[in-house]
Structures are given as structure tokens and as C-alpha cells.
Copies of this chain bind each other. A is one copy, B any other.
Amino acid sequence: MNKLLIVGTVAFDAIETPFGKTDKILGGAATYIGLSASFFNLQSAIVSVVGDDFPQEYLDLLTSKNIDISGLEVVKGGKTFFWSGRYHNDLNSRDTLDTQLNVLADFQPKVPQDYKNSDIVMLGNLHPLVQSSVLDQMETQPKLVVLDTMNFWMDCALPELLEVIKRVDVITINDEEARQLSGEYSLVKAAAKIHTMGPKYVVIKKGEHGALLFHNKEVFFAPALPLEEVFDPTGAGDTFAGGFAGYITQSENISFDNMKNAIIQGSNLASFCVEKFGTEKMVTLQKSDVLSRLQQFKSLTQFDIEL
């Protein structure tokens, strides 16, 4: 089985949506990526950090999904990263109510020896220096490095972000972030500019409006599945990235055509994530449900005009 190395936060989230609110629940980019990638045949490991306030039950959950957590450092006396946010009524925007970096502030990632030859590396949202440090520790060149990031790092660590972006094959960011990073309003122009920064593949996530994959002059679009109700968008982008990276890892195929499939797999998994609060849906989701919804994606997008 191929190996997927996942870097990103493992965290507590407290979420408010128009439908309700949660206390501190399991969250974090690496958590969502790992859960999503676990629907594929692969070996995966998370590199991250938590405090010793992090419940054993959450660690056990990750392990039960066959995620190697030997690279998940537990800091004695430390507190786990905490994020709290409130979504607006349309669920397309949110306010951050609280961010406590805690153990993330001094985090030095350590890639487990077994994963220094990973086939695919998924650099989830974290400080770009942490993302770079993980790449530095690889002993063989991964077949594909995927990076996810957010506007926060563009605001406060842009030089470091640009350095790590140079080293990756695929970048996944949302539409506003693509505009901020490139200075271009048109997403076609934004993607072209981001290509010149390093990544050969640019994935622009548009939330409920789907995702675009750009590669040179080629472009592919995956819609989001139209849902009766979106309950909580938290983690949807990470779940998307985890499905993308997980499928690529399983299939050992980094062609553009296979990346189209990977984008669909990511969109499919993300469509489940938003149906319940936090990780709740992803934890109980069955593979048979994932496959049957893939069929819906086909019906949703495939047509048969003869040309």
C-alpha cells in the first residue's frame, strides 16, 4: 500500500451555525484530512501536536481509522490548539471568535522514520515553516506534494509561504485566497499567476460553488453536490483535500485525468462532511454510502452531446 503523509492541525473547535452550537469538539486540518483519506486503500500518518488535555478517546478514534499517530506529539502540560467561530446565516462566511495557538506556537514537526519515503505528502493548513520543515525531512522525493493554506499566512508569513509554495506540485486554496495571493480577480488569471509561483496544479475551492483544477491551459470543474441543507461547513475544505490526496495515493496515478477523478472524490467526501457538526458525519460514514453518492456526482455532471 502506498503511503500518505499528512501535516496539519489537530485541534479543538467550538462552532456556532444558524442550526446550533457545540462545545469543544474534535477538529483540525489534519484530523479532517486523515478521516477523509481513510476511505481509500493506503497507509497514512499524521504529523501534528496536541496538549495533554487532548482526550485519549480522540487519539483512539484516529488509530481506529488506521491513521498512524506516532508523529502526533503530545506535549506534557500543554494545551491543544483551539479555534472558535460563528457562521453567518448563509454559511458562506464566518467570524473567528477565538484562536488559542497553545502548543502550536513552538511546534517542531517530526516525521516518523517510516514515512520519510511517503509517496504523497499532504501539507495541510499550518505555519509555512512547519510545512517546509516536513519537506526537509523527507528522504525520498514524494511523487506528489499537495499544499493547503489560508489567507492568515498570506497576511502574516507571506515570504515563508511563497518559499514553501515553490516546492509543491499542487496547491489548494479558496477563491478569495487565490485572488489575494495573485492580485488577480479573474480566477483563470489567478491560477495562471499561481502556476508561476511553483505549483503545476492549482485547485481553487469555491465552497458550495464547487472546485476548479487548473493545469497549464487545461481546466476541470467539479460541482458541490446540491444539498437540501448544509449544517456546518467546518472542515469541508480539508475533507476535500484529504479525499483528493487519498485517492491519488491509492491510485498511484498523478496524471491530469486522474486528478479530475481525485477532485470528484474530494468533492464527494466534502458533501458528507457538511451534513453534521464537525467530524461527526465523517466518523460514522460507510464506504458504501461514499460509492453510492459518487454515482450521484456522475448523474449530476455527465452529459452526452455528440460532437
> Which residues on A are within 8 Å of B, measured CB to CB?
89-90, 185-189, 206, 209-210, 212, 218-221, 223, 226-230, 257, 260-261, 264-265, 291, 294-295, 298-305, 307
Q: Say yes or no: A210 contacts B223, CB within 8 Å.
A: yes
A303 touches B261 (CB 8 A): yes
What separation, in Å, do the CA atoms of A209 and B209 have in the docked complex?
6
- Give, as a whole number of angstroms, the nearest-CB distance from A227 to chain B: 6
Contact A188 B228 (CB under 8 A): yes
Asked if B219 and A300 sit within 8 Å, CB to CB, the answer is yes
Across the interface, do A294 and B307 meet the contact criterion of CB distance under 8 Å? yes
Q: Identify which of B90, B186, B212, B298 contacts A307 (C-beta below 8 A).
A: B298
> What's the nearest-Cβ distance from chain B to residue A175, in Å?
10
Chain B residues with CB under 8 A of A221: 223, 226, 300-301
Contacts of A298 in B (CB 8 A): 305, 307
Contact sample, A vs B, 30 pairs, CB 8 Å cutoff: A89-B185, A90-B185, A186-B228, A186-B229, A186-B230, A188-B226, A188-B227, A206-B209, A209-B209, A209-B210, A210-B210, A218-B299, A219-B300, A220-B299, A220-B301, A220-B303, A221-B223, A221-B301, A223-B223, A257-B303, A257-B304, A260-B303, A261-B303, A265-B305, A291-B307, A294-B307, A295-B307, A298-B305, A301-B301, A301-B303
Chain B residue at minimal CB-CB distance from A213:
B300
Q: Chain B CB within 10 Å — which of A189, A226, A295, A303 has the most?
A: A303
A294's contact among B89, B189, B226, B305, by CB below 8 Å, is which?
Answer: B305
Report the nearest B residue to A260, measured CB to CB: B303
Give complex CA distance A137, B185 in Å.
48
A187, B224: Cα distance in complex, Å? 12
Leading 4 A-B pairs by shortest Cβ distance:
A209-B209, A260-B303, A221-B223, A188-B228
On chain B, the residues within 8 Å of A295 by CB distance are: 307
Taken together as a complex, chains A and B put the C-alpha atoms of A90 and B185 apart, in Å, by: 8
In the complex, what distance in Å separates the CA atom of A304 from the CA atom of B298? 9
- B189 with A304: CB separation less than 8 A: no
Find chain B residues with CB under 8 A from A307 CB: 291, 294-295, 298
Instruction: Give chain B nearest CB distance to A14 CB in angstroms.
Output: 24
Chain B hits for A189, CB < 8 A: 228-229
A188-B227, A209-B209 known, 11 other contacts, Cβ within 8 Å = A188-B226, A189-B229, A206-B209, A219-B226, A220-B303, A221-B223, A261-B303, A294-B307, A298-B305, A301-B302, A302-B302
- Which B residues touch A223, using CB under 8 A? 210, 221, 223
A295 to B257, CA, bound (A): 16
A173 CB to closest chain B CB (Å) equals: 15
Bound-state CA distance A291–B306 (Å) is 10
A205, B227: Cα distance in complex, Å:
16
Most B Cβ at <10 Å: residue of A230, A257, A265, A307: A307
- The interface residues of chain B lying within 8 Å CB-to-CB of A187 are 226
